[in-house]
A = this chain, B = another copy of it.
Amino acid sequence: MAQLQNDVFLRALLRKPTPYTPVWIMRQAGRYLPEYNKIRSQAGSFLNLCKNPELATEVTMQPLDRFNLDAAILFSDILTIPDAMGLGLYFADGEGPKFERPLRDEKQIESLSAIDPNDQLAYVTDAVRSIKKALGGRLPLIGFSGSPFTLACYMIEGKGGTEFHRVKKMAYQRPDLFQKILEVTSASVIAYLNAQIQAGADAVMIFDTWGGSLTPRAFKTFSCDNLKQICHGLIREVDGEVIPRVVFTKGGGQWLEALAGTGADALGIDWSTDLGSARAKVGDRVALQGNMDPAVLLTNPDVVKKEVGNVLSDFGSGSGHVFNLGHGVSQFTPPENVLELVEAVHEQSRSYHPAV
């Protein structure tokens, strides 16, 4: 495997010294880029893009040609696992992801079994290999998956949401049934992320998008325990290089101590948490990734530059920070604001890193 030309991102995740703060952006390959929309309309749908390794490679590379980003991220979806389980993932226009066959009875749940990623999700590992080839060692590649709880939310509700009534009713009333779903999805996530690592992913991230909808007690039982199980099941090193794990529970700012104990190397932080307080809570156990409000990118380069300064200053001096947004970039973002963000992070962050 080619030696990485830029490993600042991987070093920061492992809290090693870096000359500046690395930056990438959640959903950096996406609808705010005209070149992405062109390929997507050719492909016919978002899912066609995900399932075609060549096109997935092309859109993964697009933001890297425009912006001086420090990492690439696999172009895919967090819901590939339940799709591989046969639930029928689809995207209705202008809406989030949905499933044609959500889990609605006990029998369906009892018959769930963990996926074999090399079989049912070969299009993903093929994309990882193809992207690694296209990168040619220029930047590290991030692989990812949804968290078991977040997958369970979509599998039970059939879509995203804010209240998760069906999910919570099951979790409170039939925890045995809910745990069965979590067991199968956890085993699948481990196999899936390990397959991505074996195909060449340099780091992996677990998106616990809906973990923040839980009570602290339910978060421990129905999300955090599974995140821990996954971290402990992941391949730790490939060819002597550590594969860092990032865990991101959106809305989990109050549970950072617990999240720091999962075995993650870094935690994603959304914009509702002050990075300085987060750092004080987790100490030197994990690095932090985040957390600019994505809405800042709807303004103008002057505001972006100022808010980049606020985020860097919130984290303060030293290693262990990967700059990112607190959530995915909005489709309404003018690309020139992303350009300003990346340049401002690189420029302004040097003063926070003592010479190495």
Contact = CB atoms under 8 A, between A and B. Distances in A.
B172 A307 contact: yes
A242 interface: no
A298 interface: yes
A272 B168 contact: no
A254 B212 CA distance: 13
B330 A172 contact: no
Contacts of A217: 274, 310
A163 interface: yes
Nearest to A218: B293
Interface in A297-356: 298-300, 303, 307, 310, 330, 332
Contacts of A163: 295, 330
A32 interface: no
Given A165-B332, A216-B274, A330-B163, A299 B173 contact: yes
Nearest to A278: B254
B216 A295 contact: no
Contacts of A218: 293
Nearest to A273: B254
Contacts of A310: 217
Contact of A298 (B165, B299, B303): B165
A81 to B, nearest CB: 25
Contact of A172 (B162, B254, B274, B299): B299
Contacts of A330: 163, 165
Contacts of A307: 172
A293 B216 contact: no
Interface string A246-279: 0000010110000000000000000111100100
Nearest to A216: B274
Contacts of A295: 163-165, 168-169, 172
A173 B303 CA distance: 7
Contacts of A162: 162
Interface in A182-226: 212-218
A227 interface: no
Contact of A169 (B169, B253, B277, B298): B298
Given A163-B330, A216-B277, A254-B273, 9 more contacts: A163-B295, A169-B298, A172-B295, A172-B296, A172-B307, A214-B272, A216-B273, A217-B274, A254-B274
CB-based closest 7 A-B pairs: A168-B295, A173-B299, A216-B274, A169-B298, A215-B271, A172-B299, A172-B303
Interface of A: 162-165, 168-169, 172-173, 212-218, 251, 253-254, 271-274, 277, 293, 295-296, 298-300, 303, 307, 310, 330, 332
